[in-house]
Structures are given as C-alpha cells and as structure tokens.
Amino acid sequence: MRVRVFTDSDVVISSLISDAGAAYALIHDSKAEPTVSNYSITEIRQVNDRLNIPSSSFNALIHNFLSVTQIDIDLHTIKNKYGHYVKDKDDSHIIAGAVRSHAQFVATYNLKDYNIELIRRDAGIITTTPGNILQYLRSIDLI
C-alpha cells in the first residue's frame, strides 16, 4: 500500500528544478502516492511559467507521478472552511486537497505557513518536509 502525500507547490517545483533533492526522491518513491489538486495545478503552472521551467516537464510529472484530486468547491468557500489551518488563506486549498484526498501527510518546505498541530489534531494529517516523509517511508521497510 502506498502512502498518500499531498504535495505543496514548493515541493513539486523543487522536484522539477533538481533531481538530487528530497522533493524529487519523494515524488519518485514507489512507496509514496504524491497528490495535488486541481487548484494546486493552477498554482504550480503559474510558478513554472515564472521560472521558465519547460511545461513539458510539468506535464510529464502530472501524467506519470502525481495523482490529482478534484476539489469541487470554490476558493472562497475553501478559504472560509480551511483558512484557520494556514497563515495565508491563499494556501487553504492545500489543506482542502489533503483532506479531500485522505492524505496521511502534507509535504512542504514552508512549515511556518501551516498550523501543524491543528491540522494533525483535526484532520489526522502530518505536515512535514519531504526529507522527514522519506525517512518514514524507509523506516516502514524495517518493520
């Protein structure tokens, strides 16, 4: 069984920039099911364009490695429902996607942007870095 990991846009972009880091390793780990939402895809495409990363690289990543969860509620509702879990309500869609996809983890490099304990308590989702999730995935092999 694969571990569902909702990936923040910084992790996806990181994996596109370098194949040597934890973000790349996590997204390509066979024990992980990296997931994004339809809202995340829009955000990632904007950053991708700003950084001049070939869209073909992102499209290949979506088709080959990322699961996409559809969130069918509007951003205003998402911000009202999930805004208290994040410092910036524009990041609310990350928590909405993690909840909707039944993720066990949120992978992000921006831990300070999330109310980690509240997310864990209310949704049972652990918010941490890609490196910590990789460490967990390696440890389950030992059990």
Question: pLDDT for 93-109, tens place per residue?
Answer: 999 999 999 999 999 99
The residue-averaged pLDDT of 19-24 equals: 96
As beta bridge partners, residue 33 has: 4
pLDDT of residue 140: 83
Quick check: 37 and 70 in contact, CB under 8 A? yes
Mean pLDDT of 74-93: 96
**Domains of the chain by start residue, with CATH:** 3-140 (3.40.50.1010)
Residue 6: phi and psi, rounded to 5, are -80, 125
Contact predicate 108/26, CB 8 Å: no
Report, as an integer, the average pLDDT of 116-131.
98
| Predicted local confidence at residue 45, as pLDDT | 93
Percent of the chain with pLDDT over 70: 98
Q: Does residue 141 surpass a pLDDT of 80?
A: no
Looking at the predicted structure, is the pLDDT value of residue 34 above 70? yes
In this predicted structure, what is the pLDDT of residue 134? Answer: 96
Average pLDDT, the chain: 95
- pLDDT of residue 36 exceeding 70: yes
Provide DSSP, 89-136. GGGHHHHHHHHHTT-SEEE-S-GGGB-HHHHHHHH--EEE-HHHHHHH
Whether pTM > 0.75 for this model: the answer is: yes
13: pLDDT strictly greater than 60? yes
Q: What is the mean pLDDT of residues 50-76?
A: 94
